[in-house]
């Protein structure tokens, strides 16, 4: 539904050049909720602004619903007719709501329809329908100043839906909200995604947002996408930084000369019998250092950090046993013992996690 290829954005900045996007290839499938996560300055907002051509990319292409937007003329407020039309099919939700304070809630929602030249009666009908959809049917005549943050964002979402978009872009829509309101707004986005078949591309710096509603996610660093995939794929990727942040487990080795591993299991696959089998089969004592169950991307997943006696090289057979049971196993490097782990398993994120 959304594809970018080689998307690059260079801003001129006081005689220097800032590369905000450095060849981003993004692919968002129809009907999914796709989260882009990254630290401040990673280029997330630049990405979303280039996707709807609020910013014209320096290089690369943006295709939304089969249409190459980069081929259409104009940009920002000076967009040509075709681009304006294409853009009306892309809704945008902002962190600070961007509502007009002098207009009522209903008039705020009608604004994009006014710009599209929709008749007064039709605008009014649509606005009331959307207010109902976002649960604010009784607030039509209120002004933004009379609403809570969560209610303002609901208006922002209703306004974004005015042009019957197929795609909704959201830049930190919940960052200004408290945790409970965040949950209700995320739930609303999820419901709209399901009810309307809306494809959602959202930008966030909160892992919880990804965990709650995203089907897929990408991690951005310095203008590049360094990891991406469905949440299940990411969780099954050894060394994935996103997976580790989505699902952290703590616990440190009790001493030198021991092997610490993270065992991840999905759904019903229970680790308990496997761990006791492992212990019996190889006659070893296993300590559980940490464990957690959670729902990520709508699926139950569990992770357990266990410690085996002996160095990693001595535990190749037990580790193989766990893998044979269909469990995902990753070695965690001990802070004082870099030699504990084979080079390819020593992902930086795991080292960081192990040191906690
Ligand atoms: N209009 C602009 N002119 C010059 N530089 C810009 C402009 N917009 C963004 N940048 C620079 O581009 C880089 C990426 O910025 P961007 O706003 O996309 O990051 P971000 O990931 O959204 O960060 P945040 O999480 O803080 O919102 C930053 O170095 C920023 O300073
Ligand atoms: Mg930003």
pLDDT digits 0-9 by tens, 52-97: 998 999 999 999 999 999 998 776 667 778 888 888 899 999 988 9
Is pLDDT at 282 greater than 60 in this prediction? yes
Same domain, 290 and 166: no
Those residues whose beta carbon sits under 5 angstroms from the ion ligand 2 are 45
Is pLDDT at 335 greater than 70 in this prediction? no
Which residue from 179, 180, 188 is spatially nearest to 155, judged by alpha carbons? 188
Would the CA dihedral through 73, 196, 190, 188 be positive or negative?
A: positive
Give the ligand 1 atom nearest the CA of 19. Answer: 12
Same domain, 150 and 47: yes
Same domain, 120 and 230: yes
The residue from 235, 253, 278 where one domain ends is 235
Residue range(s) defining the domain that contains residue 279: 241-355
Residues with Cβ within 8 Å of residue 117, at least 6 apart in sequence = none
170-187 mean pLDDT: 92
Provide the pairing of β-strand 287-296 with 299-309: antiparallel
DSSP character at residue 287: E
- CATH number for the domain spanning 220: value is 3.40.50.300
Interval between CA 21 and ligand 1 midpoint (Å): 9
Residues with CB under 6 A from ligand 1: 11, 13, 18, 20, 38, 40-46, 205
- CATH number for the domain spanning 274: value is 3.30.70.260
The residue from 178, 201, 235 where one domain ends is 235
Residue nearest to atom 7 of ligand 1 (CA): 11
- Backbone torsions φ then ψ of 150, nearest 5 degrees: -65, -40
The residue from 210, 235, 260 where one domain ends is 235
Give the ligand 1 atom nearest the CA of 220. Answer: 21
pTM: 0.83
- Backbone torsions φ then ψ of 273, nearest 5 degrees: -60, -35
Q: For a substitution probing ligand 1, which of 11, 19, 52, 172 has the most ligand atoms within 8 Å of its CB?
A: 11
Question: What percentage of the chain exceeds 90 in pLDDT?
Answer: 62
Is pLDDT at 284 greater than 60 in this prediction? yes
Which residue from 54, 47, 42 is spatially nearest to 3, judged by alpha carbons? 47
Contact 198/168 with Cβ under 8 angstroms?
yes
Integer Cα distance of 291 and 289 in angstroms: 7
Average pLDDT, the chain: 87
pLDDT digits 0-9 by tens, 96-141: 899 999 999 999 999 999 988 899 999 999 999 999 999 999 999 9
Note the pLDDT of residue 341.
46
Give the ligand 1 atom nearest the CA of 205. Answer: 25
């Amino acid at each position: 539904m959304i594809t970018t290829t080689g998307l690059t954005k260079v801003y001129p900045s006081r005689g220097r050049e800032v590369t905000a996007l450095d060849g981003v290839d993004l692919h968002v499938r129809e009907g999914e909720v796709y989260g882009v996560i990254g630290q401040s300055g990673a280029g997330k907002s630049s990405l979303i602004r280039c996707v709807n051509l609020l910013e014209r990319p320096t290089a690369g292409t943006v295709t939304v619903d089969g249409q190459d937007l980069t081929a259409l003329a104009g940009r920002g407020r000076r967009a040509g007719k075709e681009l304006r039309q294409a853009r009306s099919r892309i809704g945008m939700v902002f962190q600070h709501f961007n509502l007009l304070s002098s207009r009522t809630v209903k008039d705020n929602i009608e604004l994009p329809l006014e710009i599209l030249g929709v008749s007064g009666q039709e605008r009014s009908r649509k606005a009331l329908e959307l207010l109902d959809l976002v649960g604010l049917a009784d607030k039509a005549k209120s002004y933004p100043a009379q609403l809570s943050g969560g209610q303002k964002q609901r208006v922002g979402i209703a306004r974004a839906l005015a042009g019957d978009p197929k795609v909704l872009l959201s830049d930190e829509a919940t960052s200004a909200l408290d945790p409970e309101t965040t949950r209700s707004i995320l739930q609303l986005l999820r419901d709209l995604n399901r009810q309307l078949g809306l494809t959602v591309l959202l930008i966030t710096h909160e892992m919880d947002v990804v965990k709650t509603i995203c089907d897929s996610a990408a991690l951005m660093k310095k203008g590049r996408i360094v990891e991406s995939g469905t949440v299940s794929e990411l969780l099954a990727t050894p060394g994935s930084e996103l997976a580790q942040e989505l699902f952290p487990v703590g616990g440190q080795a009790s001493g030198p000369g021991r092997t610490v591993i993270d065992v991840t299991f999905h759904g019903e696959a229970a680790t308990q019998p496997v761990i006791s089998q492992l212990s019996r089969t190889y006659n070893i004592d296993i300590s559980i250092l940490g464990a957690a169950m959670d729902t990520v991307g709508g699926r139950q997943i569990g992770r357990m950090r266990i410690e085996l006696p002996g160095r990693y090289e001595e535990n190749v057979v037990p580790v193989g046993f766990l893998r044979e049971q269909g469990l995902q196993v990753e070695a965690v490097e001990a802070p004082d013992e870099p030699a504990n782990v084979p080079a390819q398993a020593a992902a930086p994120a795991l080292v960081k996690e192990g040191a906690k």
